[in-house]
Every structure is written in C-alpha cells, then in structure tokens.
Amino acid sequence: MDIRYSANQRDFRRYTTEEVRGEFLIQDLYRPDTVVAVYSHVDRMVTLGIMPVNEVVPVDKGIDVWANFGTKFFLERRELGMFNIGGPGVVTAGDERFEMGYKDCLYITRGTENITFESADAANPAKFYAVSAPARKSCETKMITAAEAKQQPLGADETANKRVIRQFIHPDVLETCQLLMGMTSLDSGSVWNTMPAHTHERRMEIYTYFEIPEGQVVFHMMGEPSETRHLVMNNEQAVISPSWSIHAGCGTSNYTFIWAMGGENQAFTDMDTIKTTELK
C-alpha cells in the first residue's frame, strides 16, 4: 500500500511539478488481478483500483490489514464506496452478491467481511474504483444505479461548464457514516468543472477522471486560491485534494469524474467559494 502523508499549504508553495505529482497524483490504478491502494493521511482516506481479469480478487489482496489499520479485516472500522468504470463485474460482500454494470455504484457498510471482485468477461474486465473512510457506525450495504442517484444540472454552454452532478452515496439517497461519493458528467463542448472554485475546510476530496478521449487531458487546478498550481491528468487517474486546496479542472475535451469526500460533515453545500477573478 502506498502511504501519502499530509502536506501543508506553506510547503506546497515551493513544490516542483515532480513533487506535486508525487504527493497528490494517483496513477496506474488498474492492473490485472491486483488491488492498487493509496492510503492518505488526509482524513485517513484510502483510494483503491481493482481490475479482476482471471481471478476472484479479495479487497485486501497484497494489503497488510493489521499493519495499516490495526484491524482483523479491511472494513472492521471502515466503510467503502465504489463505482464500476469497466466491463460487467460482480462484487461479493459477505453473503450478498451484486452484479455491477458500467457506472453502477455500491456502498458497503462497516463490519462487512469477505469482500471479493470478479469480472464477467476477462476480455472486457471490470474496473472498480473505490474509496474507503473510517466509520463509527454500521449502515446498510446497497447498490445504487444512475437512475436512483439524485441529479443536479449545473452550468451553461456560454461558460463551457454545462454538467450534471449525480449524487450516489449521499444523505438524500442512503445513510452512511461520513463517506460521500458521486459522479459529474460534462456535456459535449463543456470543459470546466467546479467553477467557481471553492475549498471546504472541514472535508477533503478525491477526484478520479475518466472518459477522457484518447489524446486529450484535463488540467486539474489545486493549491490555495492565491497560490494555484496544476496537474496534467490522463484518463483514469485520481488526485488527492486537502481541505485547504481548490479542486477544479479544465479539459481539452469534455470528460467525467467521480468525487469522494470525507471529514467533519456530509453537507454537500458546506464550501467556501472563491470568486474566479480572485484566483491567482
């Protein structure tokens, strides 16, 4: 498991491009029959990429659960949310079995043991993007389809940010301890996300970008509003955003991204908005 320690905004101002990428960018998430895991000390969130091909892959494959979490099994004191962004797949969580298609979402509650992943077709493997947060209570394990998500259209053609936010793991859809997850899709011709930019002092966030066409990229904006930096993101990469950092982006094409949040509350509107003209 890759461990990322917390970085403060004062030191961040002096980071080189290589250092910014090393601290916050998550690459190579999907390797055959492997669990790729990145543990961030920012709110102790774990990002996982799981691509089963020829095997049934357990969630803790290659992870020393006791050394990393001090528990007997992965979700003894954690909850887990995930999307399938690949071919059809199956997730087994305890005694329950979930068949997941493209962009289906699954929430697995604290206390669930024996979690495994498999693909329906090795030639078109599933790609499970997952995020785990510490949890103090157990809720209900549930799969959420796109039709069941809460939809919020935003933006406009003239500002190149016409998009639909879909809230999947959200208090208006199902109860969780602290984890929030959703998906934002940009319309054709729109390239900007999360503008006007904002921070949320009480929560961190992780983005993963996908459906970026071949040969295109997303410029992900981060840093303090007065000290912005950018990361060039390729398809199916993720980025960690601490509470002090903005998290916005502009693509050379439209794209889709999954957002995940954890921290002090679950209030989606709890954010500190910055005027676009005040960014530096």
Residue ranges of alpha helices (H) inside the chain are 9-12, 17-24, 65-69
Residues 6 or more apart in contact with residue 14 via CB below 8 angstroms: none
pLDDT for the residue 271: 83
The β-bridge partners of 131 are 47, 81
Q: Output the pLDDT for position 266.
A: 79
Two tokens, residue 262: 């954890």
Give mean pLDDT in consecutive 10-residue pieces for the chain, a chain of 280 residues.
Answer: 94 96 98 98 96 98 96 98 98 97 97 98 98 97 94 95 96 95 97 92 93 98 96 98 96 98 80 92
Give yes or no for a contact between 252 and 214, defined as CB atoms under 8 angstroms apart. Answer: no
DSSP string of 221-274, one letter each residue: EEEETTEEEEEEE-TTEEEEE-TTSEEEEEESS--EEEEEEEES---TT--EE-
Report CA 138 to chain centroid distance, whole Å.
21
What confidence score (pLDDT) does residue 265 get? 74
Residue-level pLDDT at 267: 75
Residue 269: per-residue pLDDT: 77
In this prediction, residue 272 carries a pLDDT of 87
